[in-house]
Amino acid sequence: MVTFGKRLREARDSKGLSQQDLAKLIGSVHTVIGRYERDEMKPSIDVVKKLADELGTTVGYLIGEAKEAQFLKDPTMLKRFQEIDELTEKDKECVFSLLDAYLAKSKLQAFLK
């Protein structure tokens, strides 16, 4: 079983951050990050959200709900998806419908070239 600590370390390593670097980003200390990674301590959901944001992944991935890491390397894209996540379900459906239509149009144009 892949634990929170293992997923946290994998995400941190993939960003090239030390425990100290990550701790500074979330306002903590490296010893706490080490305890999280060794599964000796569990962070609050607020801290998990900060970790996910700084690591460019999702809370779902860190806590084991998502099987694969979903890293967004473009900070603008990450910010946009975080903003979309805060919308109502109805508004999210509207955004996704528009996005689906645009992607279909783009794929069709690429196919016709």
The whole-number pLDDT of residue 72 equals 61
Number of Cβ atoms within 10 Å of the Cβ of 37 = 21
The whole-number pLDDT of residue 98 equals 92
Distance between CA atoms of residues 110 and 15, nearest Å = 33
The whole-number pLDDT of residue 70 equals 56
Q: Which CATH architecture has domain 4-62?
A: Orthogonal Bundle (1.10)
Under-70 pLDDT residues of the chain: 66-73
63, burial (CB in 10 Å: exposed 0-12, middle 13-18, buried 19+): middle
